[in-house]
Amino acid sequence: MYSRIQSLRRYLGSLPEKPESLSFPLREEELETFFFRLTKKYSGCFLLESHPEYSNNSRYTILGFEPPFRFRGGKNTFQINGRVFSSEHPYQTLRSLFPSAKRSKRYNGGLVGYLSYDSVFFFEPVTALAGRNGFPFFSFGLYLDGIVLDRLKGEAEYFFYRKNRIESLLSILGEEDSESGNVSVTVSGYSKTKEEYFRMFSETKEEIAAGNTFQCQIGFEERFKIEGNIFPIYRSLKKKNPSPYLFYYKDEELEMAGSSPELLFSHHDRIVETYPLAGTYPRGKTPEEDRTFTGKLLSDEKELAEHSMLIDLHRNDLSRICETGTVRLRKEFEILKFAHVQHISSEVTGILKRDEDCFGGLASVFPAGTLSGAPKVESIKIIRRIESEERGPYGGVLGYLSLDGSAQFCILIRSLFKSGNFAYSRAASGIVFDSEKELEYNEILNKLKAIKSAVEEYLS
C-alpha cells in the first residue's frame, strides 16, 4: 500500500494552488431537479445546503459528483477506489494523503463524506466494534471539481483543478426528465419495544447510581424497507424539517439524507467551533403553548444541568487541540426551534494549535458528547453494553475537509441511512439521575418524527 499512498500523495500535492472557475447557469429553483438527475446518473455524489432561516450558514450550497478517488475505512482495512489494503489505523492513513492547504476563501474541493459513530475506537480507548453491515467506518470521496451556488448573489460557479467536466454538466442541466424516480417505503418497526427501552433506561439509571456516568445517551431506531433513490425523501425532509445542515450523500453502496440541527466541528483560519445541543422539549401546538414549553425548558433544572455538563465536555475536548487560554464560551443557553422539538444551544470556540490540523481537531471532539454522555469514554462503553447493537453512521458526522484547510461536520441525527433496500433512522435521549422513563421515551419518538414525516407520502 505504501507505494500507492506515496503516488497518490504526490499527485494531490501537485494540484494547482487554486482551481479554475467558470460561470454555470444554474438557478436556485432548478437545483433539486438538476441534482436529482446527477444522483440517477452517477454512483457517487453529494449535496450540502442550509435552510435560509439559519442565515449564518445558508449563503453557499455546494455539490459534487463522481469523485476520481474514493476511500473507505474498515477494521484494519483501507480502501482506495475499491482496492483493499491492510491498515492499523485507516483514519491516519486518510490523513496522511491530504495535501497542504490551497488558497481559497471558501470550499474549493476536497474530502466529502461521513465518519461512523462505530469508528470511535480510532480515537478513544474502547474495544473495537465490528461495524454495521453495509456501512463502513468511514466513506469519503475526494472531489476535485464541483459547483458552488451563491444564494446571496443568485450565481453559480463550476470549479475544477485538472479535468474540466462542465460540458457534461451543461448537458445534464438541459435534459428533460423522462422518469420521476419513484421511491417506495415500507415501515418495518422499531428496533426496541417500549418495555425493552424501559429496561435499558433502568440499567442506565443503575450505572448512574453506581457513579459510572453522570449522563448517558440511550436510544433505538425505526427501520424501513425502501425501494428506489431516497433523494425525493430528502426533498420532503427539507420542507418538513428545515435545519442548518441539510445533506444528501451517496456512494456505490449506500445513501444517506439528513436535516441535522447540530454542528460538531468547524474550522477556518485556525478558528474552531463546536455547538453543543442538549436539553429538549417538544414544540407546542399553538404559539402560546410553544412559548410556554420554551419557558419550561429554560427553567428545567434537569435540562439545564445536562446542557452545562456537555458544555464542559466540549470545552475539554477543544482544549486538547487549541492554544492554551483560547477556548471560550461565545454563546450560551440559546433556544433553537425545529419542526418537532426545541433545544438549548451554546457555542464553544478556540484557536487551533499551529501543529494541529482539521483531522486532529475532528478527532478531539469525536464522537459528540451530546450523542454519548459524560464522562465520554465510560458512557460510550455503557451505551455499547446496554444498546447491544452497532449504531452505524448515526451519531457520527458528515461534512467536508476542504483543500483550503477548512472543515465543517454536522452530527448525523435526524437522518436516514440506506444500504441496499434496508434503511433506518435512530434517536436517543440523555438519561441523568432524575430522568423519567416516560418523558425520555417520548423525546426519542419526537426526534424520530423528523424522518417519519418525510417518508409518509412514500409509504406503500
Out of 93, 274, 280, 370, the active site residue is 370
Asked whether the beta carbons of 346 and 318 are under 8 A apart, the reply is no
28-61 pLDDT, tens digit per residue, is: 999 999 999 999 999 999 999 998 776 566 789 9
Res 129: pLDDT = 75
Helix (H) or strand (E) holding 362: helix 358-365
Is 107 one of the annotated active-site residues of the chain?
no
Looking at the chain, the whole-number percentage of residues with pLDDT higher than 70 is: 96
How distant is the alpha carbon of residue 41 from its chain centre? Answer: 24
Q: Considering the candidates 394, 400, 441, 458, report the single residue annotated as catalytic.
A: 394
- At 291, list the grid cell: 412559548
Q: Is the pLDDT of residue 304 over 60?
A: yes
Give domain limits for the chain.
Answer: 2-458
Q: What is the pLDDT of residue 339?
A: 80
Active site residue 109: no
- The mean per-residue pLDDT over the stretch 62-85 comes to 94
pLDDT level of residue 102 (50, 70, 90 thresholds): low
Name the catalytic one among 131, 219, 399, 430. 430
Q: List pLDDT tens digits, range 245-274.
A: 999 999 999 999 999 999 999 998 889 999
CA distance 361 to 350: 11
Helices (H) and strands (E) in the chain, counts: 11, 24
- Output 338 or 443, whichever has higher pLDDT: 443
Respond yes or no: is residue 414 known to be catalytic: yes
Q: What share of the chain in percent tops pLDDT 90? A: 72
Q: Which residue has the higher pLDDT, 440 or 8?
A: 440
DSSP 250-304: E-SSEEEEEEE--EEEEEETTEEEE--EEEEEEPPSSHHHHHHHHHHHHH-HHHH
Query: Given 70, 314, 343, 426, which residue is catalytic?
Result: 343
**In a 3-state reduction of DSSP, which class is residue 385?**
helix
What would the CATH number be for the domain defined by 2-458? 3.60.120.10
Which among 132, 315, 414, 426 is annotated as catalytic?
414
Check residue 134 and give left, alpha or beta (phi > 0: left; psi -120 to 50: alpha).
left
pTM of the model: 0.93
CB 407 within 8 A of CB 397: no
Average pLDDT, the chain: 91
Q: Look at residue 17 and give its three-state secondary structure.
A: coil
For cell 433545544, name the residue.
343
